[in-house]
Amino acid sequence: MLDGVREMLADEEAWVVGGAVRDELLGRPLVDLDVACREPERAAKAYTDRAGGAVFSLSERHGAWRVAHRDGRTVDFTPLPDEGIEADLATRDFTVNAIARPLAGGAQVDPFGGLDDLGAKRLRAVSPTVFEDDPLRVLRAVRFEQELDFRMDDETERLVRKHASLVTRPAGERILDELSRLGPASFRRLDELGLLAPLGGSVDRLDRLEPRSNRLLLVAVFGECLERLPVSRELARYARALLHAKPPTGLDARSVHRFRRATEPWALDAVVFLGESEELSRAVEIARAAEPDEPLVRGDELGLPPGPAIGRILERIEEERAAGTISTREEALDLARRESR
């Protein structure tokens, strides 16, 4: 990826900037490459012709372009200011992201002391206005603490607290993307900094459960407020299933079946969300393993006119089969006749 960009821009002034330089210095894998050059659109399209990928405008306002590869890697081409690379770095968020090096090779340009901050594992704002310039950065600060195992310096933390009310201003998609990358400790950090409550979140549930996935964590933190964000339909359905779940009255086959009917395919996550026992998890797994491949009867075999009664009767048949009171097609049809009277 880097070699291809270097060859393409060999005769032009261009700089590797931001997280790519930071990650290289930290020995982290290079996933996202950010290159500042004079003609980003031309460079992005020329790179795509050579290396493939999807090219699109990242920001019409700022003139940035992105090339996205199928494997998830991205190359961003951003405008190099007429004033030079230091003017670009002055617009960055944190000093560790405000280091540049010539694409062709050479010494780093580090006007804000980012190299020292890397060594100290310190996250420090480039300027007092970074959070006003882009409010999403208050969330990014916490994410960088998590991903890099860094800590904000006192002044940066003070600025985050001061501008906590700005956290709701970015587009919902951008907020959700940041939140989706956080772990439990980071949500507690958001709460500590005053960033969680404005988004409708709370860490109360985290004290009694250990989320097994990011989506379970999001539901645990945001509850009904999660749907204020532009979540997918699948995540919205998942959240409703967990939030409306009720513990079964027992571990007998009928009770477990009813619990599963209300929560599948997320019954095990519902067990965790409700803080229920390992015994219930095992009962759910046993019921799943014993799930029949085919129903005893289908709706069109009941001899009933179309309507909600068919669904209700089929559910009753499934429950009785799970409970062990019926096991044959004839018994199912007999139950259906009784239920339809």
Q: What is the 3-state secondary structure (H, E, C) of 96-146?
A: HHCCEEECCCCCCECCCCHHHHHHHCEECECCCCHHHHCCCHHHHHHHHHH
| The pLDDT of residue 116 | 98
What are the angstrom distances between the C-alpha of 54 and each of 20, 37, 173, 231?
A: 20, 19, 20, 24
CATH of domain 1-117: 3.30.460.10
Q: What is the 3-state secondary structure (H, E, C) of 179-215?
A: HCCCCHHHHHHHHHCCCCHHHCCCCHHHHCCCCCCHH
Give 242's contacts (C-beta < 8 A, 6+ positions apart). 216, 219, 263, 266, 269, 270, 273
- Rounded mean pLDDT for each run of 10 residues along the chain, 341 residues in total: 75 89 92 91 89 85 87 91 94 96 92 97 98 97 97 98 97 96 96 98 90 93 96 97 96 96 96 94 96 92 86 93 94 90 72
Domain spans, the chain: 1-117, 121-244, 245-289, 299-339
What superfamily would CATH give domain 121-244? cca-adding enzyme, domain 2 (1.10.3090.10)
| The pLDDT of residue 1 | 66
Q: Do domains 1-117 and 121-244 have the same CATH topology?
A: no
